[in-house]
Chains A and B, each alone.
Chain A
Amino acid sequence: MFKVRVIPCLDVKDGRVVKGVNFVDLVDAGDPVQAAIAYDAAGADELCFLDITASHENRGTILDVVRRTAEACFMPLTVGGGVRTVDDIRALLQSGADKVSINTAAVNNRQFVKEAAEKFGNQCIVVAIDAKRVAGPGTALPDAADRWEIFTHGGRKPTGIDAVLYAKEVVALGAGEILLTSMDRDGTKSGFDIALTRAIADAVPVPVIASGGVGTLDHLVEGIRDGHATAVLAASIFHFGTFTIRQAKTHMAAAGLPMRLDP
């Protein structure tokens, strides 16, 4: 039976984990490879590294992290952050990444998605969408129909692009998966933006990963059951030891979702 995925995401800067990783038995909590090994053992269904390295000169460090992770963990790995060229993608895949996540470069140049998918296959091209609600409840236009826009630069820069239309467009160009983050919810621990997740998941034929706002295990259930996502991504609830991957998956299974609980 096909299962729902739980994906922990690690922010990596200059080869080190940025947000805290709180595991027992971790020799070096700042080493992303150590954290990846711990998540692998804990039953994570995939791993995601987001490279937030400040300078271009330090880009090579993420390749080393990916290479060392692929030597130690035999599970799927997605890497995003600063992916701008076909050469960036090739270098990550050759180092051992299975999928790459493209964000700003796709907003700036939609054709990049097509070029990447044609070269490496749809299955390894994830388009990351950072969206913010601009109409509907809680906005300046509370009575208008729900609408979300794409934002870049960590949610600071509006683009005027409609998130649902954009998702359909990048999928038509070859994106094999959408990593959807609600900028309104990111970091709030108040749960996914379910209306956004459902609007995009129902609009595209490819898998959607819900991200941004997870604070409780019920939020994970809601992302799948109500948001129609096929995977959920979270960072802080796992890194700070609030919940283990196992607790998350057991909770989701108890709520009736199909989960992989291999020993």
Chain B
Amino acid sequence: MTVAIVDYGSGNLHSAAKAFERAARESGHDQPILVTSDPDVVRAADRVVLPGVGAFADCRRGLEAVTGMVEALEETVRRRGRPFLGICVGMQLMAERGREYEVVDGLGWIPGEVDRITPADPSLKIPHMGWNTLNALAPHPLLDGIATGPDGLHAYFVHSYHLKTADPGDLVAQVDYGGPVTAIVADGTAAGTQFHPEKSQRLGLALIANFLRWAP
């Protein structure tokens, strides 16, 4: 059993790897966490994580620059159904396209586009930066045992864009920031969080542990 965290020059891989190692140890689902840019390691992995920090187009180009990686993700996640977790821009890349600075195609796993957050209250600051509670729209194994709603645990967000799903069935959780903002999406064995579980203390480690035991 291995977890591959995809290294394509984007994202805080050190923090992500350490959080996955900790969650693996503490949840009793201890398994090697491999930070890798090798498509064959991704193909051989039982679970795949795609982090991402920065602009959508930059991340997309970074992923494209790793020869064979997009193909390896398609094969491992979409055809062979290995559990997948996209984080922040890694989650946004699951969309059909992004509109940050320029229009760029995503992986197209989740129908919809990545567009700017536009809070109804103009005094709300962009980026949406800080802690927010999750509003669960549908049950999902990633949220097992995690308190959601206004009195629930908090997740750490830092972003100006979000994935607007075309199919409401792909939307697992939102947060309120002058209107609904996408927090968790899922389609089949592929899921993604706009927030950073590796930076979300208790909620984050619990969600990562859920991902490590998720058997879709």
Residues of chain A touching chain B, judged by Cβ–Cβ distance below 8 Å, are 1-5, 40, 45, 67, 70-71, 74-76, 93-96, 98, 120-124, 176-177, 205-208, 228, 230-231, 260, 262
B27 at the interface (CB under 8 A from A): no
Tell me, in angstroms, the Cα distance from A124 to B58 when the chains sit together. Answer: 15
Which B residue's beta carbon lies closest to that of A44?
Answer: B201
Question: Counting CB contacts under 8 A, is B41 at the interface?
Answer: no
Using an 8 Å CB-CB cutoff, how does the interface string of B54-82 with A read, 1 for contact, 0 for none?
Answer: 11001000000000000000000000000
- Nearest-neighbour CB distance to chain A for B118, whole angstroms, equals 12
Given the known interface contacts A1-B150, A2-B176, A262-B202, the answer about A122 and B133 at a Cβ–Cβ threshold of 8 Å is no
B214 at the interface (CB under 8 A from A): no
- In the bound complex, residues from chain B placing their C-beta under 8 Å from that of A1 are 132-133, 150, 176
Residues from chain A with Cβ under 8 Å of B125 in the complex:
205-208, 230
A45 engages B130 (CB within 8 Å): yes
Q: Are B19 and A74 closer than 8 Å at their CB atoms?
A: yes
Total A-B Cβ pairs within 8 A: 101
The docked-state distance in angstroms from the alpha carbon of A120 to that of B53 is 8
Question: Which residues does chain A contribute within 8 Å of B196, judged by CB atoms?
Answer: 76, 98
- Sample 25 A-B pairs with CB under 8 A, ordered by A number: A1-B132, A1-B150, A3-B132, A5-B130, A45-B131, A70-B12, A70-B15, A74-B19, A74-B198, A75-B201, A76-B156, A76-B199, A95-B14, A96-B12, A123-B158, A124-B53, A176-B129, A177-B127, A206-B126, A207-B127, A207-B129, A207-B130, A230-B125, A230-B129, A230-B130
Whether A5 contacts B54 by the Cβ 8 Å rule is: no
Note all chain B residues with C-beta closer than 8 A to A228.
Answer: 123
4 A-B pairs with least C-beta separation: A121-B54, A207-B125, A260-B131, A3-B131
Interface centre among B55, B125, B175 (most CB of A within 10 A): B125
Known: A2-B132, A5-B130, A76-B199. 6 other contacts (CB 8 A): A70-B15, A94-B14, A96-B15, A98-B15, A206-B125, A207-B125
In the assembled complex, B205 has its CB within 8 A of some CB on chain A: yes
Cα-based distance from A262 to B131 in the complex (angstroms): 11
CB-defined contacts of A122 to chain B, threshold 8 Å: 127, 160
Do B53 and A121 touch across chains, with their CB atoms under 8 A apart? yes
* Smallest CB gap from B125: residue in A: A207
Least Cβ–Cβ distance between A6 and chain B, in angstroms: 11
> Smallest CB-CB separation from B200: which chain A residue?
A74
Bound CA span A66–B19, Å: 15
For B203, the chain A residues whose CB sits under 8 A away are: 262
Interface centre among B12, B15, B53, B176 (most CB of A within 10 A): B15
Minimal Cβ-Cβ distance residue in B for A204: B125
Which residues of chain A are near B128, meaning CB under 8 Å? Answer: 2
Chain A residues within an 8 Å CB radius of B127: 122-123, 176-177, 206-207
Partner among B15, B123, B154, B159 whose Cβ is within 8 Å of the Cβ of A123: B159
